[in-house]
Amino acid sequence: MSNREDVLYEAAAMYYLQDETMESIAGRLGVSRSTVSRLIKEARETGLVRISVQPRGAAVGAVARALTASFGVQAHVVAVRQGATQVQTLDQVARVAGRLVSAWMQPGTVLGLAWGTTTSAVVDHLVPRRVPGAAVVQLNGAANPVTSGIPYAGSIITAAAAAFDARVHHFPVPAFFDFPETKRAMWRERSIRRVLAMQGKVDVAVFGAGAMDGPLASHVYEGGYLGAEDVARLRAEGVVGDICTVLLRENGTYADIELNARATGPTPRELAQVGRRVCVVAGTAKAATLLGALRAGAVTDLVVDEATARAVVERARRPRAGVPGSQP
């Protein structure tokens, strides 16, 4: 093989067989990330890499159909090998989501991202390509009493924009305001209204489902965004988690949860204005939150591991418990 073919083979093998990131491959080959992207694209175009999708197993297809029938969503159920760790499960689900989101990016598309552990993993698996006129906008604020949130949330939004050579729109507000009246005042500021207007143009919204408990706890509950008293009150109110930092119950209600008046992310009702709303979930600990999001009508497209999908279907079949809150 020529030297060029050697490099193509090495880049393709590291990316497709060893699951290495483009940044890692670039470092090992001593080239830029954009060069790695071109190498991988060339490997596909020349036939060095041939991608095929195996038919889904009957069991995976059945649970996907059950989710579609119950909630009207397009369900992408990811079969994860038995014994996989939570981190491995998240990586496999995020890999599928990253490729789907990349395929949905068309010229002029506005992509809305709600920061979080899951969204960060999805962004790592976006397929870089130039999308003329595209924009990426942050959907929820990230600051809390101990940090501006910029290094964490900003890096996620910026990385997504870089993948598509898109304009980036950060949202420089807290995840939760201390007082509802402060939020109302900030929403009148021209700089904030500009970002809110861009959020209103979102074509594809991507978000995870945060759980208050579990092996991979949501950044909202582990990152200093809520105090112990807040969490205790939320548990008493029947809250199971959040989407876009908007807290909700398993039955899909959220409007009467006091803390939501101070939250900066879009509510399920506001998300419903977005044509494609992609919820990405890995881990059965998030089943209750995901069920709440589905019942609230916040999701059009779901990417989820098989075990969590089954847990959601089973929970949905149970009689609804007497949880506080009226339907939104």
Q: Note whether 315 and 252 are within 8 A (CB).
A: no
Task: Please tell us whether the domain made up of 3-45 is placed in CATH 1.10.3470.
Answer: no
Tokens 């059965």 correspond to what residue? 284
Residue 276, classed as helix, strand or coil, is: strand
Task: State the Cα–Cα distance between residues 235 and 223, nearest whole angstrom.
Answer: 18
Q: What pLDDT is recorded for position 128? A: 92
Task: Please tell us whether the domain made up of 58-316 is placed in CATH 3.40.50.1360.
Answer: yes
Q: What pLDDT is recorded for position 228? A: 81
* Residues 208-259: tens digit of each pLDDT: 999 987 766 576 776 677 878 888 899 999 999 999 999 999 999 999 999 9
Question: What is the model's pTM?
Answer: 0.79
Local confidence band at 146 (pLDDT 50, 70, 90 cut-offs):
low
3-45 and 58-316 in the same fold: no
* Residues 45-103: tens digit of each pLDDT: 888 887 755 545 556 788 999 999 999 999 999 988 888 898 999 999 999 999 999 99
Per-domain residue ranges for the chain?
A: 3-45, 58-316
Q: What pLDDT is recorded for position 324? A: 56
Local confidence band at 325 (pLDDT 50, 70, 90 cut-offs):
low
106's tokens? 């068309």
Residue 31 backbone dihedrals phi, psi, to 5 degrees: -130, 180
* Residues 147-176: tens digit of each pLDDT: 656 678 889 999 999 999 999 999 999 999
* Residues 89-145: tens digit of each pLDDT: 999 999 999 999 999 999 999 999 999 889 999 999 999 999 999 999 999 998 776
pLDDT at 1 over 80: no
Ranges 34-38, 157-161, 266-270, 322-326: which has the least confidence:
322-326
pLDDT at 280 over 80: yes
Indicate the average pLDDT of the chain. 89
Q: What pLDDT is recorded for position 326? A: 44
Q: What pLDDT is recorded for position 34? A: 92
Residue 71, CA distances (Å) to 157, 269, 299, 303 in order: 29, 16, 9, 14
